[in-house]
Amino acid sequence: MSREIVCSGIRPTGNLHLGNYFGALRNFVKMQEAHDCFFFIADYHSLTTHPTPDNLYNNARQILVQYLAAGLDPDKATIYLQSDLPETVELYLFFNMNAYLGELERVTSFKDKVRQQPNNVNAGLLTYPTLMAADILIHKATKVPVGKDQEQHLEMTRTFANRFNNMYKHEVFPLPQAFNFGSDLVKIPGLDGSGKMGKSEGEMNAIFLNDDPAAIKKKIMKAKTDLGPTEMNQEKPVEIANLFTLLSVVSTPDTVAYFDDLYNRCQIRYGDLKKQLVEDMVKFTQPFRERIAELSSDESYLRRVMDQGKEKAHESARRTIEEVRHVIGYRN
């Protein structure tokens, strides 16, 4: 792949879980080596769920620590806070003028939120995809490392970019693509036997990068299973397939093949599978826990990283917003 402009972010709604890591953060770390990368903490997007000021601040700080603990390097990638870049908000406003109620209401994540929080269906939720488009297009990014659940938002981003270019008859924006390093977009399942790993599905559903070994053990041992296979080579029910998916991201292929074979021969003992998963999960998360603990108290380093990121992000955003204003017709 030639050198691309890459941009992505994660909402600071709590600690990062394995879904965030394998869907997004792992790609951030790889991509910073060869591309011009902008990775931000989406602290405007998190306002849709009305955090308290303390929560907003502490969660954003925690995401920064976890970005760095996972290996993001402020000298390679631009790491910044979304709210440090007001140009994004201006571009969001411009996109909102050409975003239509019907298309915004049809977005799956919006429909999910309407179901989940019927008493808080705010305009920020409705226009979530236009703010995302602004985040990405403010840097004219072409590649956006995200998990499978963000695919539709990227489609909307292309719609808004294209619409703007056509309306003003200028090729201002590229049409960015969702991206996962080396393969299809991923969806990491949760531990409750359904759906994806996610913060809003409850604490027991997700393994967080800073979970201690006892918490990991408790969650995995409680994960839902069935009574076991009764026929050779039978298809795995979803909760069992989920455990195998989790095993495949933290264990060796040999280990996965070993349990797969036992399953196919109806000789699997889920307790053994879970013990192995606990062991490999604890090993996998160990370096994160150590780095998180080290970085958490280094206030002056964290401050420096944010200041440096803000400056670099601002440079890129200012160029785009000047061009956009000119094309729209704001001329001094």
Site string for ligand TYM, 85-124 (x = CB under 6 A): ----------------------------------------
From the list 113, 143, 219, 274, the catalytic residue is: 113
**Given the complex with ligand TYM, which of 7 and 268 has the nearer CB atom?**
7
Residue 41 within binding range of ligand TYM, rule CB under 6 A? no
Residue 130 within binding range of ligand TYM, rule CB under 6 A? no
State both tokens at 163.
């619409």
Angle, alpha carbons 205-211-214 (nearest 5°):
95
| Annotation says 196 is catalytic | yes
How many angstroms separate the CA atoms of 144 and 40, rounded? 12
The residue range among 85-93, 194-202, 270-278, 313-321 that interacts with ligand TYM, by the rule CB under 6 A, is 194-202
How many angstroms separate the CA atoms of 220 and 207, rounded? 9
How many angstroms separate the CA atoms of 248 and 251, rounded? 6
Residue 66 within binding range of ligand TYM, rule CB under 6 A? no
Which one among 4, 5, 6, 8 touches ligand TYM, defined by CB under 6 A?
8
From the list 140, 187, 199, 310, the catalytic residue is: 199
The residue range among 130-138, 231-239, 249-257, 278-286 that interacts with ligand TYM, by the rule CB under 6 A, is 130-138
Dihedral sign for Cα atoms in the order 286, 195, 223, 245? negative
Residue of 229, 206, 227 whose CA lies nearest to 218: 206
Residue 42 within binding range of ligand TYM, rule CB under 6 A? yes
Q: Are 266 and 228 in contact (CB under 8 A)?
A: yes
Question: What are φ and ψ of residue 196, in 5° steps?
Answer: -105, 160
Residues numbered 137-156 forming contacts with ligand TYM, rule: CB under 6 A: 144, 146-147, 149-150
Residue of 147, 176, 182 whose CA lies nearest to 31: 182
Residue 135 within binding range of ligand TYM, rule CB under 6 A? yes
- Taking the complex as a whole, the smallest distance from the CB of residue 229 to ligand TYM amounts, in Å, to 26
Residue 196 within binding range of ligand TYM, rule CB under 6 A? yes
Question: Which residue shows structure tokens 């179901």?
Answer: 115
Burial class (CB in 10 A: 0-12, 13-18, 19+), 28: buried
Residue ranges in contact with ligand TYM by CB under 6 A: 8-11, 19-20, 22-24, 42, 45, 132, 135-136, 144, 146-147, 149-150, 186-188, 196-198
Please list the active-site residues: 113, 196, 199
